[in-house]
Chains A and B, each alone.
Chain A
Amino acid sequence: EAGVAQSPRYKIIEKRQSVAFWCNPISGHATLYWYQQILGQGPKLLIQFQNNGVVDDSQLPKDRFSAERLKGVDSTLKIQPAKLEDSAVYLCASSLGWGLDEQFFGPGTRLTVL
C-alpha cells in the first residue's frame, strides 16, 4: 500500500514570496492533517480535514496560511506571503477515520525562507 505522498521535498524562497505544498493521502483515508515542524520541536497541527470539510484550524495563521481539500482526496497548503519564521518542515498525515485513528505521516516538505 502506498504511503502519504508529498511534494516538493524541498523548497527555498525569499520572504514575502508565496509557496504551495501538495499532499496525496493514503487511498481511502478520510482524514487529512497538515503539521508544521520547526527544527528541534515536535510537529504542531495546523489544520485537519474530514473528507473536504475543516474539522480543526485553530492553530492555522489564517492571515497568511490557507489550505484546501476540494474533492476530499489530495490537499494543498499555501503560504502567502512567507516570513522567515515559516522555515520548517511541513508534514502531511492521513488516517482512515478521525478521532483516535492512527495517523500515517508523509516525508514532509522542508521549507527555507531567506
Chain B
Amino acid sequence: GQQLNQSPQSMFIQEGEDVSMNCTSSSIFNTWLWYKQDPGEGPVLLIALYKAGELTSNGRLTAQFGITRKDSFLNISASIPSDVGIYFCAGHLNSGYALNFGKGTSLLVTP
C-alpha cells in the first residue's frame, strides 16, 4: 500500500485546547478521509473529502483536502475528554480503489 505520513504521532492536551494533525503523501490521492478509533472498536468515519481544496466541517471538526492532492489536515476545536482516541487519515489513490491508512495520531485530553 501507499505510505501516508501522519503527524504528530501523539498529542497530550488540556480540555478546551484546539488540535491540529496532518497527513502527507508523495502520491496524488483522489479522496482524503479522517477516521477515529476508540479502544476495542473499529474506525469510524469523521469526515470525507473528495475535491482538491475542499474544506469540510463536522461539528467541532474541520478538515481540508490539500490543493496539491498530496496532503490533508484535521482540526479539532475546543477539545473535550471524549475526543480521546486514535485519529487516522486515509485515502484512495488516483489509480485505484484500495483505502490506504496512515499510522495514526493518538490524542489524550486531560480535564
- Chain A residues close to B by CB (< 8 Å): 4, 33, 40-45, 48, 55-56, 58-59, 91, 93, 98-100, 102-108
Contacts and interface: CB of A to CB of B under 8 A. Distances in A.
A38 to B, nearest CB: 10
B90 A106 contact: no
Contacts of A98: 97
B59 interface: no
Interface stretch (B11-19, B36-44, B61-69, B72-80): B36-44
A41 B40 contact: no
Nearest to B1: A44
Contacts of A105: 41-44
Given A42-B90, A91-B42, A105-B42, A56 B98 contact: yes
A104 B42 CA distance: 8
Contacts of B92: 100
Given A42-B103, A99-B97, 11 more contacts: A40-B103, A42-B88, A42-B90, A42-B104, A43-B43, A43-B101, A48-B97, A98-B97, A100-B50, A105-B43, A105-B44
